[in-house]
Amino acid sequence: MYTLFLLTVSFLISLILMPIFIWGSRKFGFVDYPNSRKVHLKPIPYLGGVAILISFAIGVLISRPIEAEYKAIILGGVVIVIVGIIDDKYDLKPGLKLIGQIAASLVPVSYGILIDRITPFGVEIEFGVLAIPITILWMVGIINAINLVDGLDGLATGVSIIALSSIGFITILQGNIFVMMICVILIGACLGFLVYNFHPAKIFLGDNGAMLLGFIISVVSLMGFKNITLISLFFPIIILAVPFIDMFFAALRRYRSNVSLVKADRSHLHHRLQNMGYTHAESVVLIYFIALLYSGASIILYLSTIPGSVIIILLLILTTEIIVEATNLIDSDKKPVLDFARRIFHRMSP
């Protein structure tokens, strides 16, 4: 019941704040103007991340957490939102943006939230001095994965809600109430924002909001899976499979085309779906279903034995290959799995 109360409070605060931030963004010039690379046709306010952070922070303070880690999340969130606002306003160079992301990641690290060991097959491996760079790499990777998938109205927000729900559910099974509460409060803030962000959007996340969601998800994924084993390493990756797949194949696509890895294009998963004839809203909902598929698989993986986990991972690899081939994410005419399926279907047809 208390969990529902926190969800409702953060949702209502977010819902109330959004019209204020829509007005304020327009008044003070924090709007995203359309161009050839973007899908919107008129200037849209982009301070959604600030409103989400305020809603989240109030919700956390109302919950009166005992653990001190909430300070790391809020302080780091403030840093990443500031970096994001500067980037939204002045279009920072990738190097400067990366420095800002690292600075934000160092906040939770300073509070002791890091990957310091792993226990594959019961053998404990200490990372020692590598713990900090490995943790920063993990956080920066998730921050950029969420930021990269933020290409359609409501997309990054919905995918983040699904990811947070999965992490929250697994932490309930672990008895980690603090992380579960953090997830619930952020879900409420995101839902309030989504009312105004779903197509046609009245306000955007902006880089400030997308990076904030990525940052908090990266932190709670570390806090939720403190006892890192070989299998548990896959949980956050599978939960966030949609943005990770998009990020990986975007990098691969740009490498093969001999262009900068940070050069923006219109070949992401959501663009591919629209090229296939799906509308804006249909593309977003379809990606929601894909994200739900991976998130559900992560929960099943958590509850599975080692042999069951291997089977699930193999099925997920096959599913990923089918998605990549069906949407042509890699810009290749070779589609071995789909071609094989077509041949089988053709032989079975009368």
Around 176, how many Cα atoms within 13 Å sit in the side-chain half-sphere? 20
Q: What's the per-residue H, E or C state across the chain?
A: CHHHHHHHHHHHHHHHHHHHHHHHHHHHCCEECCCCCCCCCCCEECCHHHHHHHHHHHHHHHHCCCCCHHHHHHHHHHHHHHHHHHHHHHCCCHHHHHHHHHHHHHHHHHCCCCCCEEEHHHCCEECHHHHHHHHHHHHHHHHHHHHHHCCCCCHHHHHHHHHHHHHHHHHHHHCCHHHHHHHHHHHHHHHHHHHHHCCCCCCCCHHHHHHHHHHHHHHHHHHHCCCCECCCCHHHHHHCHHHHHHHHHHHHHHHHCCCCCCCCCCCCHHHHHHHCCCCHHHHHHHHHHHHHHHHHHHHHHHHCCHHHHHHHHHHHHHHHHHHHHHHCCCCCCCCHHHHHHHHHHHHHCC
Torsion angle of C-alpha atoms 121, 244, 82, 213, degrees rounded to 10: -80
147 labelled binding-site residue: yes
Q: Is 150 marked as binding a ligand?
A: no
Torsion of CA 118, 168, 292, 7, to 10 degrees: -160
* 301/315 Cα distance (integer angstroms): 11
Q: Rounded to whole angstroms, how far apart are CA atoms 174 and 235?
A: 13
Q: Which residues are annotated as a binding site?
A: 147, 207
Q: Which residues are annotated as a binding site for Mg(2+)?
A: 147, 207
